[in-house]
């Protein structure tokens, strides 16, 4: 069990650190995560979100360091996903709160999850404000960022934005604040989080950032529901979200492939050589050795995606099929791409990859390259030229 942390005067982190989780619905959390909850001690005591059910004991331990749970007056549910609401039924039964504040869609989601229509729901919308005594809370609905129920809570006296699942990271640490860790690692975790959770919602993120700007909120701290709290550089993560949501690309290509008997891998290396000759930054990522979520992190700011697979049973290898499904769900935009692969007697893999890329609105630079069985040194020049063609196309954009 860890200690509570006062992040602002009478505002405390009371969440839980999950050191051992390694998968978050398809996202590799190889360094764990946190489930952040916040307790404001005022004339009215308010708990902002809870934690995953398996971490209930940590939440209660932290609350007990500050007050008896029964003394909590309000529960604010910014997000209903089970990593933040899983322990809510037990907390509600223990606390017996006067009110549970949630968005209109939040109330529906809570009832759908827990089937408790008797809870003291208080529905709030964007711009609604409640007083806790010395502190006031203003709510901002953030529908589909990343669930329909999501909302932010803003404490104006502290310039504190409690941001639900935005601006977070899946990273278990003993530290609670951005200035207590290495910035490069923090931003890498933040980028991975954005790419695998919010990339498909980029248009909404851009719209939300504009809305927050129009509200002219004085934000000097951002407290997300996962990872580190931004107390030194909240503007840095807002700026990064603005950039990532614009899906701005660098002169960079990601080569993603799987291989059976190394022929497709040999082609991938030849494609790499072609890109290198054009001076393009390259990430070379085997699906056997790299998790899909780490590949997505590199794709965020890449202009080109090149995908390779041999043909297996008239299709692609299973890991390639898995990756294409995952990539399609995240809807990357403003990309160009190409496919390549070896085959024995039918050779459908390149066509299947091309179709998937076109469905994602990735502009194909080439119909792709196929080689039968083992490519010769001379035939590998086709793959080199594919890399060069993609490299030239990157530089034109």
Is 193 among the catalytic positions?
Answer: yes
Q: How confident is the model over 107-162, as pLDDT tens digits? A: 999 999 999 999 999 999 999 999 999 999 999 999 988 899 999 999 999 999 99
The active-site residue, picked from 18, 49, 81, 258, is: 81
Residue indicated by tokens 């840095």: 236
Nearest to 136 by CA among 154, 116, 124: 154
Are 339 and 350 in contact by the 8 Å Cβ rule? The answer is: yes
- Tell me the three state secondary structure of residue 213: helix
The active-site residue, picked from 83, 258, 265, 278, is: 83
Domain boundaries, the chain: 5-245, 253-396
The active-site residue, picked from 18, 49, 141, 165, is: 165
Is 146 among the catalytic positions?
Answer: yes
Is 12 among the catalytic positions?
Answer: no
CATH 1.10.10.10 fits 5-245, yes or no: no
Q: How far, in Å, CA of 237 to CA of 244, rounded?
A: 10
Nearest to 115 by CA among 135, 88, 136, 96: 88
Angstrom CA distances, 241 to 182, 198, 199, 237, 305, stand at 19, 10, 10, 6, 22
Is 226 among the catalytic positions?
Answer: yes
Angstrom CA distances, 52 to 17, 35, 36, 107, 226, stand at 10, 7, 10, 19, 12
The active-site residue, picked from 84, 146, 291, 371, is: 146
The active-site residue, picked from 27, 38, 193, 241, is: 193
* CATH among 3.40.50.360, 2.10.10.90, 3.30.70.870, 3.30.559.10 for 253-396: 3.40.50.360
pLDDT on residue 82? 96
The active-site residue, picked from 25, 93, 182, 289, is: 25
| Same topology between domain 5-245 and domain 253-396 | no
pLDDT on residue 251? 97
Residues of the chain predicted below pLDDT 70: 1
Number of Cβ within a 10 Å radius of residue 222: 24
Helix and strand tally (H, E) in the chain? 12, 22
Is 113 among the catalytic positions?
Answer: no
Is 118 among the catalytic positions?
Answer: no
pLDDT on residue 297? 98
pLDDT on residue 170? 98
pLDDT on residue 149? 97
pLDDT on residue 214? 85
The active-site residue, picked from 35, 49, 62, 79, is: 79
Is 84 among the catalytic positions?
Answer: no
pLDDT on residue 216? 86
pLDDT on residue 1? 59
The active-site residue, picked from 226, 265, 272, 278, is: 226
Is 79 among the catalytic positions?
Answer: yes
């Amino acid at each position: 069990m860890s200690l509570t942390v006062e992040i602002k005067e009478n505002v405390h982190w009371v969440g839980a650190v999950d050191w051992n989780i390694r998968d978050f619905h398809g996202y590799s959390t190889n360094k764990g995560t946190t489930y952040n909850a916040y307790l404001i001690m005022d004339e009215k005591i308010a708990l902002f979100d809870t934690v995953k059910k398996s971490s209930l004991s940590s939440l209660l331990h932290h609350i007990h360091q500050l007050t008896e749970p029964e003394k909590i007056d309000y529960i604010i549910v910014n997000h209903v996903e089970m990593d933040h609401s899983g322990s809510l039924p037990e907390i509600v039964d223990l606390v017996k709160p006067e009110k549970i504040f949630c968005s209109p869609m939040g109330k529906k989601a809570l009832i759908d999850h827990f089937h408790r229509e008797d809870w003291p729901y208080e529905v709030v919308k964007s711009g609604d404000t409640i007083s806790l005594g010395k502190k006031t809370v203003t709510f901002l609905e953030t529908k589909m960022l990343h669930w329909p129920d999501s909302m932010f809570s803003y404490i104006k006296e502290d310039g504190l934005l409690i941001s639900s699942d935005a601006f977070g990271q899946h990273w278990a640490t003993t530290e609670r604040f951005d200035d207590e860790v290495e910035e490069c690692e923090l931003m890498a975790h933040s980028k991975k989080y954005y790419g695998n959770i919010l990339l498909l919602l980029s248009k909404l993120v851009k719209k939300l950032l504009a809305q927050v700007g129009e509200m002219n909120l004085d934000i000097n701290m951002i407290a997300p529901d996962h990872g580190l709290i931004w107390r030194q550089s909240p503007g840095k993560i807002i700026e990064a979200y603005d950039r990532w949501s614009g899906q701005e690309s660098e002169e960079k290509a990601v080569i993603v492939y799987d291989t059976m008997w190394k022929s497709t891998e040999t082609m991938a290396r030849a494609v790499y050589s072609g890109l290198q000759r054009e001076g393009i930054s390259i990430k070379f990522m085997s699906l056997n050795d790299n998790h899909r979520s780490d590949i997505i992190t590199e794709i965020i700011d890449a202009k080109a995606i090149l995908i390779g697979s041999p043909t297996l049973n008239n299709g692609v290898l299973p890991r390639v099929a898995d990756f294409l499904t995952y990539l399609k769900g995240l809807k990357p935009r403003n990309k160009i791409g190409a496919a390549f692969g070896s085959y024995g007697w039918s050779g459908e893999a390149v066509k299947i990859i091309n179709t998937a890329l076109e469905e994602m609105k990735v502009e194909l630079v080439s119909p792709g390259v196929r080689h039968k069985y083992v490519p010769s040194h001379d035939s590998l020049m086709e793959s080199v030229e594919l890399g060069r063609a993609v490299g030239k196309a990157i530089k034109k954009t």
